[in-house]
Amino acid sequence: MSELKNKNNQPYAFTFKRASVGKRIGAFLIDHLIISFISHFVGGFILMGLYTVLSPSEASAASLVLLLFLVVSVLAFLFYIFRDVVKGQSIGKRLLGIGVRDVSDNFLVPPTSRLVLRQLFSFVWPIEFLVLLFSDENRKIGDKISRTGVYSLREYDEFISYIKRTEYIKQEQTATQYSDSAESLSQTVELQKPKRKSAVTIIVIVILAGVLFISAMFFGIVAIFRNHPSYQVATQTIKASPEITAIIGEIESFGFMPSGNINTSSGRGDASFTIIARGAYGEVRVFVDLEMRAGSDWEIVRFNFVQIR
């Protein structure tokens, strides 16, 4: 238990409560969604930009994807291990009113080195989760090694606010009123019930983070498809098809999200797409199969279409 004292050296006692397992898991999930979103969103748009600007060959495209994966992985790793360095609170912890503190002095935020050390063990999260779940102290392996704990800070903020209000009232009281109340104020202050963030607000935040993460993944996949050399060959063939232009006129646009798959390995590859082509007089659904052999260019092996409207 730690104590604060007022101007008359009278103690106001306060004990930090350990954060519940539910809040710790909730904070982790929020952080995970945010970090995943940032990593994949940035990575997807970087990939889309590089494909558009560089127009890589099949070999360089594979290398580019691998390099981008490594860069995104490193960034995600750094985000994870440094996520608590600002006052011992990540975004998820801040939203749920909890934070990392020194286990021997709960008023003290651990140094950055110990905050990073405790996060290194998050990458064996199944073990960390089991240790946290069955620990009487609600501490995971990283907490025990770095001598830290996660505590509820919202009650402490309410406590400080209460003390400030109490001291202000005392200063405004007359000498007689102050004397009469001095004895009662020397006792431990009873905290008001902390104001908790609405569960609905937290749920909405998690849902929005999830939607943004899924959107980033979607746009990243679309970027890979639309800028892949095989897709470029397919769309150029569609534009040059006299049968299609005779039906719907000059091609004006293609559907945003093509369906299909791309498989490549050691200079060989197969791809198939279903692409919506739109012209001035209607739309057609085009089915295209392509192959690449011995490092040569992509070639059409099947091409047909049906008119939609």
Encoded tokens for 18: 């350990």
pLDDT at 251 over 60: yes
Q: How many CA atoms lie within 13 A of 157 on its CB side?
A: 11
Element containing residue 191 per DSSP (H, E):
none
Domains of the chain: 2-155+194-204 (no CATH), 228-307 (3.10.450)
0.95 surpassed by pTM:
no
pLDDT digits (tens, 9 = 90+) for 284-308: 988 999 888 876 788 888 888 888 8
Q: Is the pLDDT of residue 124 over 70?
A: yes
* HSE toward the beta carbon, residue 84, CA cutoff 13 A: 28
Q: What are 3-32's pLDDT values in tens digits? A: 444 444 445 567 788 888 888 888 888 888
pLDDT bracket for residue 100 (50, 70, 90): very high
Per-residue pLDDT tens for 252-270? 888 777 777 888 777 788 8
Q: How far is CA 131 from the centre of its chain?
A: 24
